[in-house]
Amino acid sequence: MAFVIAEPCIDVKDAACVEVCPVDCIHEGEDQYYIDPEECIDCGACEPECPVEAIFPEDEVPEEWQSFVEKNANFFK
């Protein structure tokens, strides 16, 4: 299981999460950041750093943002 970045990140892209990631698995997309599920080591360092609370464990993404699980996975295909 990896972490997923959801809707609150769109057009904010603060980058605090990128700075604390020990494995550099967070990548910038056009409208938001994405976490590579193959590179993520599930350390959770990114989650508390997000100023807009957009990062969730994959199995805890709120219902209204479930589409971001697939959006994140598709970014790395």
11-60: pLDDT as tens digits: 999 999 999 999 999 999 999 999 999 999 999 999 999 999 999 999 99
Residue 1: predicted pLDDT: 64
Locate 7 and state its tokens: 């809707």
Residues forming beta bridges with residue 5, ordered by sequence position: 55
Number of Cβ atoms within 10 Å of the Cβ of 4:
25
State the pLDDT at residue 16: 97
Q: Which domains does the chain have, with CATH numbers?
A: 3-75 (3.30.70.20)
pLDDT of residue 75: 96
Determine the pLDDT at residue 32: 97
pLDDT level of residue 3 (50, 70, 90 thresholds): very high
Give just the sign of the alpha carbon dihedral 2, 61, 20, 48.
negative
DSSP H helices, 1-77, are: 16-20, 67-75
